[in-house]
Every structure is written in structure tokens, then in C-alpha cells.
Structure 1
């Protein structure tokens, strides 16, 4: 067969019988020696990439080593999809892809073997996708689209390319015309695309059905619909962030009283903290026709799936008690308009005493001295008036720092320091809880102190540079994201000529990325459909050393 060696394996009868008796597969890993960590590769194909006038009813691929046959079924994508599909027939390290019906005339086909393919010995994955394109006619479609998916687990995510029909495109009821798969670092490439306008969707296809399943698959969108033509055959930097496609309202799965005053509600997904308000819940005793409103409501230990309501010991009994929720939202904004669930009651005594569960940031030895924010989380509800009179942030001489308090929910308060603090100086957060009574009447008898130390400003660093490769570089946003903790981010806006600066930055390794908007980043949405802001990551990781700012960095968007 042209371009591909054929292997003919002859087994002696005695050897074949021994293999059958031992139950061994014909693909055997080598014995001894160092562990195999090399990813499988494709070393030959038929046809060769770019071949025209191809008239066979099959294609063939040869691997560098034995691979798991079943893994190829999840890793191979053929675009456009052959009519009535195909079959895979193996011979040693080679596989023949036999099309059940002849391929269409004058059509460019694109076969991708993605990174879900693993070798037989140690299940090493393909390092990057392999692409084979050929045409049944006299020319190859030359359109190509490339980019990256940025996600903590981007490997294996599929890129769907839907071709517009006239002015419309349907991404929900149709399978994509072309499919590719992300490599280990999230990169992807689609080649051999015909001219036309495309909508691209990145999908974590959990069912491998090549259909976007709302509420089940995560998905991402990019900033535009690329249009391929003879004059414009290449689009790059089509980048994605992934997000949930949830369109369903949250559901209450259970409601249980853990004692006379506390109700624990379990949801099927994370709730939006802002919608967890006491007025959104009602406890109804259908035997007495009485209803009760919670005194407090909040997320249990910050877990959005577990909500806690605090009642004022209503003395509930029996199995005719229900909990009604209204206006409860998930983090995507889907709203539970109204729902009720049976409430399992308890007459167990409430012995809890008010205390502080945690204080953030947890790193108390490196507190920023530039208007830092502290978060105080209690184990039970506390009113803003009680908080203001009992919690203070001071230096060690007792001088109170200027601050504002923001109630995030009934147990969580944020203290925003509105003045600059001294560098490398000791401070403390003090909570005088003496005499503070909970709904059960039990009073706390403690003063809690949490010591902090501001960071040594001499150890801070910075990044200064210029954004280039864009027609109008002014007013663009840049994000400096800490590699080990993506929650740590610094933001900057470009000046008139694209210049930017990040000052007083914690030393460490960072990712730098830009987005084309003056405000908050818009990741876009699959439904209702909304393009994302254009964004791009700087090509390399940036390491910022203590006490030494990096200057003159050029972030070229054309690079």
C-alpha cells in the first residue's frame, strides 16, 4: 500500500496455542528495562497529508508502538463525517479506516487522531493531535483555524466548527461539520476547511456524541465568527475560556433540622450567595397552619450546595412540616421561582456558642499594606450592629485603622481598609464576643485575636512594558495572574501608546494576558449566545524576582 509498510506476522501453531492457554493478548508490553513514558506517535499514513484525487474507500495510519484499540474510537474524528460511518480494522501497529460508502466527490476530508489515544504499555497519551487531510478532487481546501483553550484541564476538549447556511447557524440541533481536539497544553488546529463563515464552540463532550448538551457539557465561545475565503485562509488566536452551560434552576434535594434552631438544606448545585436571604425561605407547619421565617440564612462553610437557616426554636414536631424557597438562584443566574420540600424536624438542643470560624487571607504574615481586605466568617448569624461594635483592626498600640465593613451574608463580613498600612508592621484583628448571645440564648465568653504582619515592601516587584500589534492600543486591559493561585490577580490598563505597568506585585511566577475591553472581562455565553471579549495570553510564563522589577516587556499581539 502506497506510503505505508505492510506487516505480515506468522505465528507457529505451538506458540499460538500457548498464547491461547495463558489468556494473553497479542499486544504484549516489553519485560524489564525502564518504564515507558514516551507518548505514541503516528509515523506513516495513507494517503499522505495534502494528497489530491484520492479515490480509495479507506485510509490507513501506522503508530510508533502498539496502542489501545478502544482508545482510538474516542480519539478519531473525521470531517466531514463519512456517510454511514466507518470501521476500524487492525494489523499490528497499523489501523485501516474503511469507509462504508464511497467518499463524496471534490471534497476535502480531515482526519484527526486526538490526545485521548493511549499506548498499550503504560497508557501514555498522544502529546498532540495528528491531522491528515486529503481531497477526492483536484484541489485541497486550504482554510485553517487555530487557537487555545485555557482551562485547568484543557486536554481532550473538542473544538466544534459549524458552517453557516446562509445567514444562520444551528449549534444545538446539528453536529459540527469539522471537529478537532485540544492537545496537552490546550492548543488546537483545524485544517482543510472549505470557504465560508464558521461558528466555533469549545466543548467538553462528556458523552462523545458530537452534540452540545446544555446543562451537561461545559462549553466556551470565542470573540468572532471567522470567515474563510481564497483571500483569507488562516485565522489564529481563536481562544476560549470554558464555563458551565447550565440553564436549569437549582433544586432542593433535602432539608433537615440538625437541632431545634438549625436547618440544613442540600442543593444539587452551587447557589448564588446573594440570593440566600431569609425572606426567600418559609417553614410551614401544615398541621397547625403556622409559618416561620428564618432569623439568619447563609452558606455552610462557604459551600454553595449546603445552606443553613437559623430559626428561633419554633417547637416543630411531626412529619407535616415543609420548607418553601422562592427566588433562589444558582451562580449562572438561573432562578428557582418557588419550590417546597419536606422538612425533617428535630428536638435536639442547640448548644452552639458564637465564635469565628475563619479569617481571610489565611497568609497572615504577608498582608498587603495597600488598602487590604479582610474577611471574617462566623459560625452563626450576627447582625451588622453586633459586628461593628465588637470587631476592630488595629496596630499593636490599639490605634484603629480606617475601614469600611461590607456584609456579604449573615455570617460573612468583609473589612475594607481605607488607608495605607505601614510596611513590615504588626497589626491585629480583635473580636470581643463576650456576652454575645445566639438565638438559643447561650452567650459567648471570649475575646479572639488574629495577628497580622504587613508585607515588606522592599521585597515586592513589578512588571512594566508595552502592548503592540494592535491598531489602537490605548485603554486595553491586562491581567497578571499568579500561577500557583489564580485568585491572585493584578489589573492594568494601557496608556495612549500601549504602555502598561504593574507595581507592588508579589514575587513569583505569572501568566500575562490581554483582553480587548475597558471594563470587566466578558467570557461570552453559549445560550443566550454572546461573543466573548477578544483575549490573548503572552507566549511565555513570567517569573518576577523579589526587589527587582522587570521592565521593557513587549507584548506583541501578532506574535
Structure 2
């Protein structure tokens, strides 16, 4: 039982400029590494007045000590241990950056100290780095370490970090580095979390996590982990249905679903009052209150009638569905008086359009947005795309990729030509609504030039790796979350090392970070996503590497000499396999 008490109220000195510096530990008792410790008191001195409540939250013992008290006064704190310490055992205590001074400044990183009740102290260690999904180092990530007994393989299979307390923990510094010290020698499972809930456990689907891409043992100094977000595998739920007006029903699920994976045939509406089915013509998505909603376009609804809507085989963005997706609502006969128009996202005669277009299997596509749901089959009759050849515009064949009834992506059959001028005309007189009714009879025309090749630069470099296989290399344009991929085939030479050249073309001007990973899929697509593994049931991440310096790309220039390297996976003695 942990008794929360303190013998004094800590008050910071008043006056002077505002203090933003982190507190520091200036002295401890016993000294870290002390042998034959028989006392029951730990004393810690700081350079600043400490918030004792934050010290309690920041303190972690390994092995666990349950019965202790924390006292604090000013710059000093004392921990009195009431549990009986086991003989010939190494104990560690860690202070995380939850510890704050009385002005709210947090400890810069975690610190671990150790003492032994016997004649020796455990000296195992593991060090590494944690990166975010943006490939930048993560400060303050909590690294949980679980000892995997050699004699109990079942423990490794059933270890669930959502419930199991870690044996050791550490926090990353501003460079994403961590070091676990005073460990029992052996194999460990490491899981890094951002610990938003501050419970030192992984909270499923609520927190990011990171796991290594190889087994981990004491003595390793370069264990790399990168954050991923585990999909929520709980059952998808249809929470609310609401008739917004006479021809639309808004559906709210407990998490986002992908509208481009849905069709009207997946929804059935039944009028319980009239004992009749109501037709669903199409659907679209909209954002309201930061939540995505699906809007069904329906036949006429009757005020006061009671309706039920059922959804079939609806999946969230990770492919998970629910069994009973049913909701009831009351009819609304309010007419919809909104006007449906194409809403161009660019001005007439815009140059360098689609410069920051994210690479995709469809190539460069032009997004089309309408103010209301349209009849998908009527859009090809209403839309004309023309390419300027000389001084004349000539029609070109095109493809439409619908996201929902209000959004589509447009591309010429042969793709957009770099530097070419196009004219796009939408004749609303030929356009129909999703209810197959005419819309406002107006003509909207836009001329635009696709970004020219002169606006792009190139990166040339070399990837160094020690394993044969496919590697997906990404160049991320900083500040955009846009990645430019290239698929490489790596084949080491007689020395066991491969120096694989790469060229990334058609890169917009800016600064880039490089990263790469080995996909487990033997026949990967260039657009394949990195697999970050799973905390439970445990699965290793795909092996990855990140660059540590940004690369400048300029228009019409080739930046040469870029380097990206996969670090060797260490063996416990520090050698590479």
C-alpha cells in the first residue's frame, strides 16, 4: 500500500525572472551501485524546490516495492521503505520526467539508480533510440522492458503490456535515446509508448507504440524503434442516425469509416410506421465537430414516422467491422433548398497545379468537389477536359475515381502531362443530383497548367545494407506529410554489404528526410505501408532505418551524395550477425 503524505508544503522562492530550467538531481543516498545495502531510507537532493506529488508519480521501483512513503521539504525528498528487501537482490528506482519543480518545469529525462542487498549488482544494459511516425526522434517516450525467462516460453506468448507491469523502464531524451541500466542479464521485450494516460502501461488503441524489429538481449546498444498506431479492433458501432431533411440521413459511427469503400446497397432503411422500405440512392461523407459522418441520400422521408436503418459489411479504415449496425430515427420532411455546384479549389489560369501531389497508383489526379450529392453517372456528360495543343484546346479522354457522391478524382487517360495547359468545363445543365433531379443551369470553366518538370529536383545517393531483399526507400518533404517512394533490390557482395544506388526524381523544391524499410511481403508494391508490429499478440516491426540530416532539393538541380544506411543488428557481445 502506498501512503501519500508529506511533512511540509513546498513553496518556491518569489521574485526574479521566470524560471524555465529543468530541475536536477545533485545528490542521492545511497550512492548508485552501493552493495550490501541494509537501510530502509532513500534520500534525494535537488537543485530546486520540488513538487512532492509529482515525485510520487515519477517514482518507479524494480523489482516492485509496494509499501513505502514519500516525504519532501524544499529541495530534499526522502523515501521510507516498509517492505522487507530481498537478500542478494539488485533494486533500481527510476525517476521519470513526470517529476516537476514547484514552477512546473519537468526533469529533462529519466534517471535510474541502483543498490544491492548482496555483494554484487546486476550490470546488464540495453540502449537505443525511439523515432516518431515522422521519423524524428521522440523526447519523453516511455520504454517498458519485460524480462523473458528462458525457462518459460509461455510467458512471452501471453505477455500483455496493457495489464502487465514492466520489470524496468526508461525515458528517451531530446535525441530519442534511452538506456536501461542495472538489468538482470537475459532476453527482453521492449515496448515504447507515449503514455498519455500516465499509468506506465500500454493503453490499447489509445496510445502510439513502438516495438523493435529483432529480439533484444542485454548488451545491445542500438535498438531502434519507431512509433505506430495500432488499429482499434473493438467492434464497429453505428451510434446515431438522424434525418437532417426529407432526403438525407446522417449516420455516426464510433470511429471513421472509408466512404470510398461504401455503396448505397450496403444500407437498408425501413419505415416502421408505414411498413415499407425506403430507397437509398447514394451516400457521401462530411466532417462535423471533428468527426466524420456518412450521409445517406434517400427517397422522401415522412415527418413523425419511425425508421430503422441497418448497415451491412461496413468496415473502418483498418478493415474492422461490426455485427449489429442498426439505429432508429424519426422522419423529417424539411425540404433541402441547397444548390449543387462544382467548387473549384483553384483560380482560373493557375500555374504549377498538382506540384505537391502525393504519389499514388493512379498517378497525378485533380480533386473535384461538389456542394451537394450528384448523380455519378451524369458527371461524364457534364464534364469536358481539354488539352491545349498549339493555340487550340482539344478534348481528351479521362477517368473518374469517385470517393463519394460529392467528391471525385480526375485524370486524363494517359495521365497529366507535365507543363501542359488544360481546360476543364462543367456544364451544370447536364448534371443531375443524386435524386436524379436537374441542378442549377450554369457553366464553370477553369484553365490550368500542370506543374512543369523545371519545378522539380532530384536526389541521387546510395543505400548501404547487409541483407538481401526488397527495400522501400521514402523521401519525405518536410512540413507536408507527403512521401516519395522508390523500390530497390538489395544484393550484398562477397563482403556481406550492398551499396545500392538510388535516384528520386520529380521532387518539389524543399527539404527532405530519407527513411527505408524491408517489407516482409516478398512482392511488395511501391506504395506498401511500413508494418510497425504489435504489442499483443506480439509481432516484430519491419526492419527500418532513418536518415539523420535533411537534404535540400532545388529546382532543376540534382542533389548528389545522399547516404542512408541500415545499422547492423547486434549480437549480445556487440558483434553483428
TM norm structure 1: 0.84
Deviations 1:371-404 (A, max 9, x none): 5222223333334432223234434542345543
1:70 aligns with 2:56: no
Cα gap change, 1:105 to 1:378, in 2 (>3 Å): farther
Equivalent pair of 1:49/1:134 in contact (CA under 8 Å): yes
The answer as to 2:370 corresponding to 1:386 is no
1:536 aligns with 2:531: no
Question: Aligned partners of 2:431, 2:484: CA distance in 1, in Å?
Answer: 37
The answer for the alignment partner of 1:248 in structure 2 is 234
Contact 1:159–1:201 at 8 Å: present in 2 too? Answer: yes
Deviation at 1:281, TM superposition (A): 1.5
Q: Deviations over 1:95-130 (max 9, x none)?
A: 223323133333333333223333322x23333322
- Count matched residues: 528
Q: What SS does the aligned partner of 2:312 have?
A: strand
Tell me the CA shift for residue 357 of structure 1. Answer: 4.5
Question: Which residue does 1:504 correspond to in 2?
Answer: 506
Q: Is the 8 A contact 1:89 1:96 kept in 2?
A: yes
Deviation per residue, 1:157-187 (Å, 9 max, x gap): 3222222242132124422212223344544
The answer for the alignment partner of 2:461 in structure 1 is 465
Cα distance, 1:478 vs. partner? Answer: 1.2
* Cα deviation code 1:327-354 (max 9, x no counterpart): 2222232212223222132110122332
Q: What is aligned with 1:3?
A: none
Match of 1:214 in 2: 204
Moved more, 293-302 or 359-368: 359-368
Question: C-alpha distance in 1, partners of 2:486/2:105?
Answer: 39
- Which of the numbers 450, 453, 459 marks the counterpart of 1:454? 450
Question: What's 1:238 paired with?
Answer: 224
SS of 2:467 mapped into structure 1: coil
Counterpart Cα distance in 2 of 1:74 and 1:361: 55
1:265 pairs with 238, 251, 254, which one?
Answer: 251
Measured against aligned partners, the alpha-carbon deviations of 1:45-90 in whole angstroms (never above 9, x if no partner) come to: 33334444433323333323223333333333333322x2432221
- The higher relative CO (CA closer than 8 Å, separation ≥ 6) is in 2
Task: Tell me: CA distance 1:499–1:440, structure 2 relative to 1, closer, same or farther (3 Å).
Answer: closer
The 3 A distance-change label for structure 1 pair 332 and 134 is farther
User: Which residue in the other structure is 1:436 paired with?
Assistant: 431
Residue aligned with 1:305, SS: strand
CA contact (8 A) 1:361 1:375 kept: no
- 2:291 counterpart of 1:308: no
Instruction: Structure 1 unaligned segments of length 5 or more: list them.
Output: 1-8, 10-15, 17-24
| Partner-residue secondary structure (3-state), 2:209 | strand
CA distance in 2, matches of 1:104, 1:418: 75
Counterparts of 1:468-479 in structure 2, within 5 Å, are 468=464, 470-472=465-467, 475-479=470-474
The one-character-per-residue Cα deviations of 1:494-513 (angstroms, maximum 9, x if unpaired) are 55532222122112122211
Q: Is the 8 A contact 1:150 1:186 kept in 2?
A: no
Secondary structure (helix, strand or coil) at the match of 2:322 reads: strand
Paired residues of 1:395 and 1:427 also in contact (CA < 8 A):
yes
Partner of 2:571: none
Residue of structure 1 equivalent to 2:127:
145
Residues 1:481 and 2:476 are matched in the alignment: yes
Q: Assess if the C-alpha contact under 8 Å between 1:375 and 1:414 holds in 2.
A: yes
2:230 and 2:347 map into 1 onto residues whose CA distance is 28
Matched residue, 1:110: 92
Corresponding position: 1:132 with 2:113: yes
1:192 alignment partner, SS class: strand
Report the equivalent of 2:407. Answer: 412
Distance 1:30 1:243, change over 3 A: same
Q: Secondary structure at the match of 1:398?
A: strand
Secondary structure, counterpart of 2:323 in structure 1: strand
1:179 to 153, 169, 191: 169
SS of the aligned residue for 2:224 comes to: coil
Task: Report the alpha carbon displacement of residue 420 of structure 1 after superposing the two structures with TM.
Answer: 6.2
Partner of residue 143, structure 2? 159
**How far apart, CA to CA, are the structure 2 residues paired with 1:452 and 1:74?**
59
Given that 1:312 and 1:440 are in contact with CA atoms closer than 8 Å, whether structure 2 keeps it comes out as no
Conserved 8 A contact 2:249-2:297 = yes
Q: CA deviation at 1:287?
A: 1.9
> 1:321·1:342 contact (CA, 8 Å) conserved in 2?
yes
Structure 1 segments (4+ residues) deviating >6 Å: 360-364
Q: Secondary structure at the match of 1:188?
A: strand
CA RMSD of aligned residues (A): 3.2
For the structure 1 residues 185 and 392, does the alpha-carbon distance in structure 2 shift closer, same or farther, using more than 3 Å as the test?
Answer: farther
**Counterpart secondary structure, 1:117:** coil
Does the 8 Å CA contact 2:33/2:121 hold for their aligned counterparts? no
Instruction: Give, in whole Å, the separation in 2 of the partners of 1:452 and 1:508.
Output: 23
